[in-house]
Structure 1
Amino acid sequence: MSWRKVSVAGHFGEWLQGRMGPEGPVALVTVACPDLGVSAPGEGAPPFEPGQLERFARALGIAPRFPGASRDAPLGGGAGASTATLVALARSAGFDGSAEALAAACLAVEGASDPLMYPAPDTLLWASREGHILRELPPPPACTILGGFWGPPQRTDAADNGFDDVSDLVLDWERATRDRDLGRAAALASASAGRCAARRGPQGDPTSGLARELGALGWLRAHTGSARGLIFAPGAVPRHGAAALAEAGFAGVLTFGTGAP
């Protein structure tokens, strides 16, 4: 079979994640990351059981034949590896349907998904356990993220709704991004990350302290997974920043630009 060559960008944790009200759905605003992702066809075996791929193909209405995939986003890192792999497999196998159909198929496999099937995933308030858009948002202001992976990997559990209410942060986020206020956006991301750290751990996370030491505007994290990042204005990452993260135990240290001017 002839496969299409496709690449799907991952993400790097979330700007915000939590419940939309005490009993509301888990929702997130993802951090778009062009430097991590999945390509297909590739040499690696997909990280799914045959039954999962059959269910995925059935949901898409295509034959259950998929290529391998190459991945530089680690599983359990909070970088969208699972969703990006499924999207890459589907498109490589010839699926050319809607993003909504892809989201529903990803949900059928894992019970949760990131919005990586959409062209601008960081402009969406995304119900990750329901696989649909709650609201369209302005894009985050342009910035540079210095980050890496700290702590153990953690795969998403679709039944896990143990997050704080962030509906207040989402309201402020919409205002901050509309006004292109990076400082305010970074503070809101830090607030969401801090709530998650207080509730979910793990203990000893050095990211907020590194943000202060290195003069970052704020910090962010994967609310499930090990991705952690410091938020800087474009071009403002200090020269010794990457070395400081490596010394603090971060793996896979990287710097990337995200957001829109």
Structure 2
Amino acid sequence: MNQSTAIQPQVSLAQSSPTVGTFRERDGALEWSGRTETVRIEPWGPDAVRVRARLGGPLLEGLPGALLDAPEDTASTLELAGGEGRLTVGAVEFWDVAQGRRRLEPGPYELLVGASSEDVRLSATLELDGEPGVFRPMRERGLEAADFDEQRGTAIVDRTRTTGDAVTPSDGDAGELLYLGCDFGAGVTGVAVEVAGEGVVEVSLDGELGAELRVSGTGGVYDYRTLTGAFTAEGVHDVRIGLRGRVRLAHVGFSG
């Protein structure tokens, strides 16, 4: 599986003059000290940093009620060079369910700094290069059940006792999954569903029922079998999958 290089959010402070202040590393944090000022930026959980500053003295530790508890160790990098200090934490990529991997959406990103989400003091817009989204390749990957765009009345459950996800009606009655932008290319003639339990799986194309597969009891919630049926489609469509009964759906594939 090819993955794009992670592009990570960065916090950078530039030293305007050698006499103003200096940067240093302190316990994995980036710290700047001026004549009477101290600013420290430190990793504070995935995709987050904590910023503290004080005028006229060292930074205070353990202020009651002021901050959340310290997070677990966070992967980060710190660079000091050429009068700059740079701390990198986290990534702005997201999990693209259509491609089954992480992806950076290209375009403008707004960076906000403030006392709270309702009290923004500074803002900036960053234009990032990335990888445009694509349609879901039905012949090549099919649909992992848990990679839906929208759902109604379903729950994600264990696919096996150790790994993977499946989807089932949350009340044991009925549920629906929606997958947008499904590309069937030049066309398919068959569908295969990997299921466990007992019930019915309905596969619809743009709201019209294309296949209905009945699942007899497979012996247990982890006892999956593959059922096949006729199903024709070509080009790009939205796919809806209806689940009825105590059935668990893991994957839907297309062929022909």
Alignment TM-score > 0.5, same fold: no
Q: Which has the higher contact order (CA 8 A, sep 6+)?
A: 1
Richer in helix (by share): 1
Richer in strand (by share): 2
Q: TM-score, normalised by structure 2?
A: 0.25
Q: TM-score, normalised by structure 1?
A: 0.25
